[in-house]
Amino acid sequence: MEDVRRDLFAEEAARARRALVREIEAYGALRDPLWRSAFAEVPRHLFVPSYYVAGPGGYVRLWSGDPDPARRARWLRGAYEDTALATRVRDGELVSSASQPSLMAKMLEALDVRDGDDVLEIGAGTGYHAALLCHRLGDAHVTTVDLDEEITESARAHLAAAGYRPAVITRDGARGCPEHAPYDRIVATCAVPSVPYSWLAQSRPGARILTPLSTGLLLLAVRTPDRAEGRFLPGSAYFVALRGGSVRTPRPPRTTGVPRRVYEDEGFRFLAGLAGERLDTREALALWLRERRPERERFGVTVSGGRQWAWLDDPEGPYAWPLPEL
The residues annotated with a catalytic role in the active site are 96
3-state SS track over 64-96: CCCCCHHHHHHHHHHHCCCCCEEEEEECCEEEE
What DSSP character marks residue 141? G
Taking CA 185 as the corner, what is the angle to CA 38 and CA 83, rounded to the nearest 5 degrees? 45
HSE toward the beta carbon, residue 283, CA cutoff 13 A: 11
User: Do residues 149 and 68 make contact, with C-beta atoms less than 8 angstroms apart?
Assistant: no
Integer angstrom CA distances of residue 59 from 68, 143, 192:
18, 32, 26
Distance CA 202, CA 325 (A): 18
Distance CA 91, CA 191 (A): 21
Residue 86's identity, in one-letter code, is: A
Please count the other Cβ atoms lying within 10 Å of the Cβ belonging to residue 58.
9
Q: Please report which helix (H) or strand (E) contains residue 146, including its range.
A: strand 142-146
Distance CA 211, CA 231 (A): 11
Pairing of strands 119-122, 183-188: parallel
Pairing of strands 299-304, 307-312: antiparallel
SS3 at position 187 = strand
Partners of 313 in the β-ladder: none
Partners of 217 in the β-ladder: 212
SS3 at position 170 = strand
Distance CA 166, CA 76 (A): 26
